[in-house]
Structure 1
Amino acid sequence: MRVILILLLTLLLCSCGPQTFKYEAVDSSPPQLVVRGEGRVEVTPDKLRLRLGVVNGASEAEQALVENNQRMSAVMAMLADIGIAADEMATGQFQIRPEWSLPPRPTPANWQRHIVGYRVSNELWIVTTRVALAGRLLAAAQQAGANQVGGLQFTLADPEAHRQRAITLATAQAVREAQTLAAAAGVSLGPVQSLTLDSPDGSPGPQLMTEARFAGADAVPIAAGKVEIKAAVLIVYRLAEEETPINKNE
């Protein structure tokens, strides 16, 4: 009986000892509202980039070079006649390379390749604000001797002003959406927590509405289209905390 009493007292003392409670931390960060706005501005291009090239070959390197120089000089003279200034033209890639013989079929064991000629390529870049000349440039360049035409691109001489406008439109849209969401949800907007800007510029490719060969044409039909400048803005608002009304009767 005495042993039983001792055991009961021991259990009672243990039950009165310190207790352990498990709890989870509550996220006390203020609620936020995240909105995204986009702005788009379409602008008529005022800058033109075009690549013209002359590629030719001959049995001798000097002969190929002389012919290439004559044809490129004719192309540059044509550009000057149209109204392209010297500072709007720049030589790009220039190359002279040998052309090698092809192995016969069947190929003899002692066959060795040898140079059969030379090929010269000369590239000229045109950058001008005279966008209206695009069609005439393409046609006249081919007639003057250019047999490589490419890289046609319509851009903007000063895109920064249009980019700023796109950013303004994107920000205004984001603010409007935040105000609409807050009003619909019955909450109030607090201060802005962060602003993020993403503004990928866009530019259209030219629409060439003709065949690759256009000998005899005074101008090639070209539609410059529009240059689209885009901007995206991400705004994070802190939501204002509602004050709990005080009960004066308490």
Structure 2
Amino acid sequence: MTNDAAPYGTPETPRVAVRGETRLEVDPEIARIGVTVSARGKDRRAALEDLTSRNGEVLDLIKSYGDAVEKLETGAFSISPELSAHGRGERVRAYHGRVRVTAVLADFTALGELVTRLADLDLTHVDGPWWSLRPDSPAHAAARRQAVLEAVRRAREYAGALGAELAALVELADIGAESPATYNGPRPAGAMRAAAPYGGGAATPAPALDLEPQRQTVYAQVNARFTMTPPQL
């Protein structure tokens, strides 16, 4: 029966285990903004009609940027009563409505103009942008390749220090490859907030906001095991 205690190697075939790590700083590829549209009416129907009109105005404005907008999604919607603080019984003074819209853009020149125009609309709150890379960005593959090259370089240095040479690759694995992956979404970075007042937008269009995209950090780590020739001790 063979002894497979060779994860640690043998005097004839020693093993070396290393970790390859890399970190790249790259420009973002996309930016996400959130838009909250609000409305207020004396009755539920009036609030809904007002909200529908404002929401349509926001969607039309975002869609007018064509291919610069990669994704447009409507999220949470709510309509709620505002109760009177005085009087014997509870009375509804007004209804408030809100709808949340999210847009993803790759054209950052258009982004600066769009966020300004959105913030200039009545009862419209804008937050973001949140910069990020696409899940299939080439930057991720580049980081992984560099991590592998770093692992090979380290292993060669260790072997060379012993007067040996690398012989073969035994194992190559992502850090945490056997653990469940988790994803918490893009990190809110460089966030901007703007809210249009209840009194209406400005008479002349506001100038486009000059946005400076935030560089993204891409990490990659691998574990690697190699066999090497017998050391010259």
TM-score range, shorter chain: 0.7 to 0.9
User: Match for 1:225 among 214, 219, 227?
Assistant: 214
Q: Which position in structure 2 is the counterpart of 1:33?
A: 16
Displacement of 1:94? 1.5
| Structure 1 stretch displaced more, 75-84 or 132-141 | 75-84
Matched, 1:180 2:157: yes
Provide the identity percentage.
24
Equivalents in 2 of 1:60, 1:114: separation in Å? 12
Q: Which position in structure 2 is the counterpart of 1:4?
A: none
Displacement of 1:229? 2.1
In structure 1, give the amino acid aligned to 2:39: N
Displacement of 1:127? 2.0
CA deviation digits over 1:148-185, x for unaligned, max 9? 21242222346342211111101101111111111113
User: Match for 2:43 among 57, 60, 68?
Assistant: 60
| Structure 1 stretch displaced more, 160-169 or 194-203 | 194-203
Preserved CA contact (<8 Å) 1:33 1:239: yes
Displacement of 1:134? 1.8
Task: Give the match's secondary structure for 1:219.
Answer: coil
Equivalents in 1 of 2:58, 2:121: separation in Å? 5
TM-score, normalisation: structure 1: 0.69
Matched, 1:113 2:96: no
User: Match for 1:131 among 102, 108, 118?
Assistant: 108
Equivalents in 1 of 2:123, 2:211: separation in Å? 18
Q: Per residue, is there more helix in 1 or in 2?
A: 1
Unaligned runs of 5+ in 2: 197-201
Q: Which structure exhibits the higher relative contact order, with contacts defined as CA atoms closer than 8 Å and separated by 6 or more residues?
A: 2
Task: Give the match's secondary structure for 2:28.
Answer: coil
Q: Which position in structure 2 is the counterpart of 1:24?
A: none
Equivalents in 2 of 1:133, 1:85: separation in Å? 7
Task: Give the match's secondary structure for 1:117.
Answer: strand
C-alpha spacing 1:82/1:188, structure 2 compared with 1 (3 Å): closer
The root-mean-square deviation of aligned C-alpha atoms, in Å, is 3.4
Equivalents in 2 of 1:212, 1:87: separation in Å? 22
In structure 1, give the amino acid aligned to 2:56: S
In structure 1, give the amino acid aligned to 2:146: L
In structure 2, give the amino acid aligned to 1:183: G
Equivalents in 2 of 1:41, 1:125: separation in Å? 28
Matched, 1:51 2:40: no
Task: Give the match's secondary structure for 1:171.
Answer: helix
Task: Give the match's secondary structure for 1:207.
Answer: coil
C-alpha spacing 1:88/1:183, structure 2 compared with 1 (3 Å): closer
Equivalents in 1 of 2:26, 2:187: separation in Å? 11
TM-score, normalisation: structure 2: 0.74
In structure 2, give the amino acid aligned to 1:170: A
Preserved CA contact (<8 Å) 1:129 1:157: no
C-alpha spacing 1:40/1:232, structure 2 compared with 1 (3 Å): same
Equivalents in 2 of 1:207, 1:86: separation in Å? 20
Displacement of 1:242? 5.7
Displacement of 1:204? 6.2
Displacement of 1:140? 0.2
| Structure 1 stretch displaced more, 31-40 or 94-103 | 94-103
> How many pairs does the alignment contain?
211
